[in-house]
Each structure stands twice: as structure tokens, then as C-alpha cells.
A and B are shown apart, each in its own frame.
Chain A
Amino acid sequence: MSGDWLFIHIRQTAPIPLRLQLNVRPGELLALVGPSGSGKTTTLRAIAGLYQPRYGFIRCNDDIWLDTHHGIRETPQQRRVGVVFQDYALFPHLNVLEHLTVAMDTGTPASRHAEALRLLEIVHLKGLENRYPRELSGGQQQRVAVARALARQPRILLLDEPFSAVDQMTRQRLQHELARLRRQIEVPIILVTHDLNEATALADRICVLHGGNALQTAVPDVLFRRPLSPQVARLTGHYNVFTGEIVEHDGRTWLQWGHHRLEIATSPPLPRGTLVDWFIPDSDIILHRRGRPSLGERENPIGGIVEECVTLGARTDVTMRCHGTNEPLRLQLNTHAARRNAIDIGEEIRVSLLADGIHIMNPVDYERNSGTVY
């Protein structure tokens, strides 16, 4: 399979608003995440040639698949894309082997047969060649859909929520198989999912879509620790987004949050007095152990009253109302740590906000940007 780059630029306001620009390199897996109606599937369909945006430019290496300005629009057949549909879209009247051979357009019947068997072995379906879709489990159907997409020798692979129709156990197994499979194919892969954990586990980069806008595209670590805007932080499941003010003291830049002056490791070049949104991930909020102070407690210590305490198996979600700001700060603790520290509603607790974890979102970036590529 060839190593093609994919470049996508789509812009329209109606009927479905879309505004995004993406690059995907060979072998890279880009996940499109966002709430329902954010434009994930429409974007995927536009790439496949199943939907034509009002203004758009899509290029795969040197081949222009879509250029609305010059009236170029290649058909799905010409684009040579492999698509795994949400419900797999298997043909009920074809058996597993025929699903693969029907998608092949090169070679002799014998070579197609051999290639189909090879692909079936890759997706662990050897021995099921003669079965029909109704005779397969959900996981097996999904594998047939993947094998059919690969049988086309696609230049790009598009996966539209491929794990949504299977149970949790099967999903994990299929995700593992996809992670293994993608090491064997050198084409750009785009995965549409609403599951952030799935995107984080599988994707090299994640693009967050909302209302048809690509809000941020970044590697998972950057996305989760350095969201571009409060909206991205919330869409990626983070709650600890607050407003503060940039201040200077002793020649250094600090963040004023209510009565607290917070030490920060880095800050965008913003003038003193600027009101900013800031964010801290759960992993950078450290609970002070009762009766055993440590050096880390000197770093941005904050006290508060536990307002909510929910145990979810091995994890306990705690919401504390902070003194000096009256804002709720959420943190995740191991359940045994919560028990050991007698965390309960109404209890006084103290935490440290690690300076490295405090991320100040530059309003200039997210007011100007949508679709920034990192």
C-alpha cells in the first residue's frame, strides 16, 4: 500500500456547518471526536466522496479528490477509500470470502482468492470464509468490514465508530486488534468516535470537533494537558476550568485566582491584568495527607470543604468548594487513598495545584483560531 498524505480543507455554513483543515500522514491514525451532531461523520463522508461540501479541497498526495473551486469531484470508486461503516454495512447475500473478492479489482480470480484468504488470516477469520453475515457475531462482522475495506487496497482507511455496536469485552479485543493491524498498513487512518478513551488509546492525534468546527488537533497528551480553549477542555471531559488574572510580583508572572496567588511554570505573553481562562488536569492536583506534611504542599496550597464524594469502584470523585474563591475544584482519588484520608462530605481538605500543570489558555489563540494543527 502506498504512503499517501491526506489534506482536507472543508468550509460551509449550511446545511451542516463545517469548518476544518486537517493533515494526516501515512500510517498515522487521526481520531475525530466530539459530541453528537458535531460533524464527525459528515467529515468522514466528505472524505469518502459520499457527501459534497459547498466549499472544499481534499488531496491525497498529488491527486485532487475534491476541489469545489475548479469543479473537481472524484467518485468514491475513484478515490479508493476503505470505509468501515458504523453498522458494518455487510451484504446479506454475500459470504465472507465474496465480501473481500467483490472489493478487489486487480489480479486473476485465483490471486484474489489467495489475497482474500491472507486478509482473513490477518483479521483472525480463517475458516469462516463461507459464512454469511447472519452467521457471524458482532465482532466477526466488524472484522469482515475491516478486511473488506483493506481488500480494496485503499489509499486511506476511514473508520466510522467501528466499535459502537459491540459489547465492552469485544470492543477492547477489537481495539487491541486495530492497534496491531495499523502497524501493518501504511495509509492515513481516520477514526470517528465519541469515546475519548478509545481515541486516546488508538490515535496518534485527536481532532476535537464541535458544531462543525475543528477546535483543536493535537497529540493526546497535549490535548489533555494543554487544551486550546475552555470549550476544548470541557469537551475532553475536564471540569477544572477557571478564570483568573495575570499579575506580576517580585518580577515574576503569577496567576491571581480569587484570594490565591498561584505560581505558574509557563504563561503566554499576556499583559498584566489580563483576565484568562486556566485549566489544571486531575493528575496535577495533589491531596495533602492528614498529619504527614510533605515538601510538595508548599506549591499552591488550597483549602476547601468537600462538597461531593462519589465512589466509583477503585476511583473516588471528590468536589471541594475552595476557600478564597468559592469555586468547585474536582479531583480524582484512589478509593483507598480517599478512605485513608477520611474524605467525606463536609470535611476540610487541602490540595496543591502543581505549577507545571496549570495551563493558561491564551484568548488570542482560541478567539482567532479554529482548526489549529499542532
Chain B
Amino acid sequence: MDWTALNISLSLAAWASGLLLPVGLLAGRWLAYTNLRGRGFLEAAVALPLVLPPTVLGFYLLVMFSDARLPGWLWQEITGSGLNFSFAGIVLASVIFNLPFAVQPIQRAFEGIPPYMREAAWCSGLSVLENLLAHRTAAGLAGLGIRHDTDFRSYAGRVRRHSPWSVAPLRARRARLPLPFTDRMQAFDESAAGTMSLILLVASFIAIGIVYSLTGRRPIRVR
């Protein structure tokens, strides 16, 4: 038994979950209540890791974590070590990759809270922060939904049933499109790999952005 691998996996899960919970709560709540135009495309950005081939996402993460790019350079300046191929790097990558699995169920849970329930919390003297963090009302209410929605098995089942892309075509897409990309990477042709990644990224973003914009869901408004 490779205890090191198990240890890294458990540490990674703990760190990623610990970081994803507050990020998911804040982002999910904001997405649930914002009236911002183009909300659908923000949701699409959050959902991108769901539809992007892992190789493409991995490529971008490698590029962004390198010292030549701002995120990697900043990390290097602050900590003195690089992000790529480090534990911090895989935690960060894991957070980004799992962002939709945290944000989306939390967002749905917040959207499921009737507006008058939030108003009742305000009139009971609870501030937005208390409401969110004290696990008393809104967060508590959302928690009722989050506990159900973040169960990965039920979520995966729901994706399979309701996703505009069924799993089979998704697999087919992944099989077709990333192969030349992988070939280019293995040939160290970064320019061609970058172009293909960009095309995949933009196409995926536009596709799910349109889907989210057309689903007709509206942010919660008070009566």
C-alpha cells in the first residue's frame, strides 16, 4: 500500500473542500441573487470545467501556474517556490476543477429559498453576514438543499438525466477533439496546442453560456 499517495489524496481532499466551501458559498449566493446582465455567461465560466476536456483544462493550468504568467509569478514571489508540480498547485487546480460541483448546488440551494424567508431573517435582526455565516437561517436553509445537492452520486445522476449533452456524446466529443491536441502536446508544438485549446475553450464557453442564458432562470427578486 502506498501510504504517501493516500496521505496526499486525503490532504488534497481536505484542503480543496476547505477552500471550496467558502468560495462556493460566496459565489453561489452572489450568482443566486445578482441582477447583473450576462449572468448566464458568468455561470458558464463557473461550469466550464464540467465540459472542457481535462487535458485542455490541465494545459491552461500548467500555463497559468508557470513563472511566466501572473498567477504563477505572484505565487513564486510570495512563497519562493513554483506552483507547477507542487502540492499547492494541485490544491489550486483541484479547487478550479471542482468549482462547478461546489458552486452550482449551493447556488440552486440559495435560489430555492423563498424571498420572504430572507426578509423574515432580516426582520428578525439577522444581518446578511450572520445570515450567511452563522448557519442559522439562509445558510441553514440553503444547507438543507446543499446537503442533498452536493451528494456527488445524485448530482452525477442529475447531470446524466438533465444535461443538454448526454454522457455518451460528451465522451465522443472528448474522444474526438482532444486527440489532436494531445498529439500536439506530445510533439511539444505548444503554439498549435494553444490554438486548439483556445478554440475548445471559446466554443465550450459560448455553448454553455447560451444554454444558461436561454434556460430562463431569473435571479431571485424580493416581492
Residue B30 interfacial (CB < 8 Å): no
Residues of B within 8 A of A48 (CB): 119, 123
The answer to whether A91 and B141 touch (CB under 8 A), given A45-B223, A76-B119, A85-B120, is yes
Please tell me if the beta carbons of A83 and B123 are within 8 angstroms of each other in the complex. Answer: yes
Residue B220 interfacial (CB < 8 Å): no
Please tell me if the beta carbons of B140 and A93 are within 8 angstroms of each other in the complex. Answer: yes
Residue B104 interfacial (CB < 8 Å): no
Q: Produce 1/0 per residue, B96-132, CB < 8 A to A.
A: 0000000000000000001011011111111100000
Q: Which of B125, B126, B136, B144 contacts A92 (CB 8 A)?
A: B144
Please tell me if the beta carbons of B140 and A91 are within 8 angstroms of each other in the complex. Answer: yes
**Total number of B residues with any Cβ neighbor in A under 8 Å:** 20
Please tell me if the beta carbons of B125 and A77 are within 8 angstroms of each other in the complex. Answer: yes
Residues of A within 8 A of B144 (CB): 92-93
Residue B68 interfacial (CB < 8 Å): no
Residues of B within 8 A of A148 (CB): 124
Instruction: Name the interface residues of A335-350: CB closer than 8 Å to any CB of B.
Output: none
Residues of B within 8 A of A77 (CB): 122, 125-127
B143, closest chain A residue (CB):
A93
Please tell me if the beta carbons of A50 and B122 are within 8 angstroms of each other in the complex. Answer: yes
Residue A130 interfacial (CB < 8 Å): no
Residue A284 interfacial (CB < 8 Å): no
Bound complex: CA A45 to CA B119 (Å): 10
B139, closest chain A residue (CB):
A93
Instruction: Name the interface residues of A81-111: CB closer than 8 Å to any CB of B.
Output: 81-83, 85-87, 89-94, 102-103, 105
**6 A-B pairs with least C-beta separation:** A89-B120, A103-B124, A76-B122, A83-B123, A89-B116, A93-B140
Identify 22 residue pairs between A and B in the complex whose beta-carbon atoms are under 8 Å apart, listed by A's number.
Answer: A41-B223, A45-B223, A50-B119, A76-B123, A80-B125, A83-B123, A85-B116, A85-B120, A89-B114, A89-B116, A89-B120, A91-B121, A91-B137, A92-B144, A94-B137, A94-B140, A102-B124, A102-B137, A105-B125, A149-B123, A152-B124, A152-B125
